[in-house]
Structure 1
Amino acid sequence: MREAKAWIFDLDGTLTLAQHDFVAIREELGIPADEDILSYLKTLPQAQAGELSRQLDAIELRLARDVAAAPGAASLIRHLRDSGKQLGILTRNLQSVAVSSLEVLGIADCFEAEHILGRAEALPKPDPAGIHHLLELWSVEPHEAVMVGDFRFDLEAGRAAGCRTCLLHEHNGWPALADLHLPDCERLLMYLRDSVANP
């Protein structure tokens, strides 16, 4: 993947330590346990969906105060930035939460504001619209980009967009969707540095 020109990252659980307890969030919002939160909200009447969306926003903003970097996240992002790669964020969270998290991680300066897409700026993953939007901004072809995340939605979005996919998770539950599987950002950085040292 060392030839890739663009790297698009998920946020929670990828660049940050996973902190969203989705079971608890569903309980707090009264959403059935087996439902995807954002997909479920779309099925509700507008007034009810709006109220639950505001509650979800408040939960995410609350969680953002305690964000912590995943191992190697800042070093990985700075390595890619210093290597001349295009960098983007595609998250199902709020854009403001993403920006705040990147500031806490000390890497907000590595991302242009228009390259940080939350659920209001692009259709939520697994829809590939956000990836397509970023690639168009960068004039980069899908096969020249990598979508990095910790969940199948990230991989499905990358696949649908025609990108390479990288799963950062201890276990690979979706081997057919991941072109590369590593446990965390630290190991991905080691992989990229080793690729440079041993082309």
Structure 2
Amino acid sequence: MKIENYISNYCHIRNNTVSVNGELIFREDSNSEFADFSKKGYKHLNLSYSKFFKMDNLSKLAFLGAEYVLNATKIDADDNVAIVLTNRASSLDTDRKHQGSIQDKESYYPSPAVFVYTLPNITIGEISIKHQLKSENAFFIFDAFNADFLHAYASSLLEKEKAESVLCGWVDYDGEAYDCFMYMISKKGQRKHTTNELKNLYKNKD
């Protein structure tokens, strides 16, 4: 008999707002840039994690989304939590900054602090370090949010017992355009883990 999985908690970060499980957590002025908005999100979580301010914007976005979901889920350090993230632009925003430093002939000096973020899976690394997660993880690139793929991949990890739960989502940042939808899949919850449910939640249709 096929085991049913559930969406236990989820978070949206878009348009200078944060919502968790469909409830608005806070909203920032619509004219605020992501740098200011992300600082407000960090302060709202009452975090003490100075490394956050060294991250690129994609990692900050994913980190905040993960914090809101994991805080609601309340995982333990020894929980086997996998991470599967997706987006459209990969690490393009940081890639541009790195390329710009290479092309600047007058002050040529590629920054190691920028270069380290020129792969999208570093976002998973930042989350894993913060929460001491050592399970399966992967980052995939799609043209748009792909509920079918995420559903199949997360279900497979759980069915094969490679993880006890899976932190999944769409985390895209390009310029000042950003969109984060992250959620936790586990064996307990109120919402069944189906592709239709994922599509509805991504579109904010509870």
More helix by share: 1
TM range (shorter): 0.3 to 0.5
Which one scores higher on RCO, CA 8 angstroms, separation ≥ 6?
Answer: 2
More strand by share: 2
When normalised by structure 2's length, the TM-score is 0.33
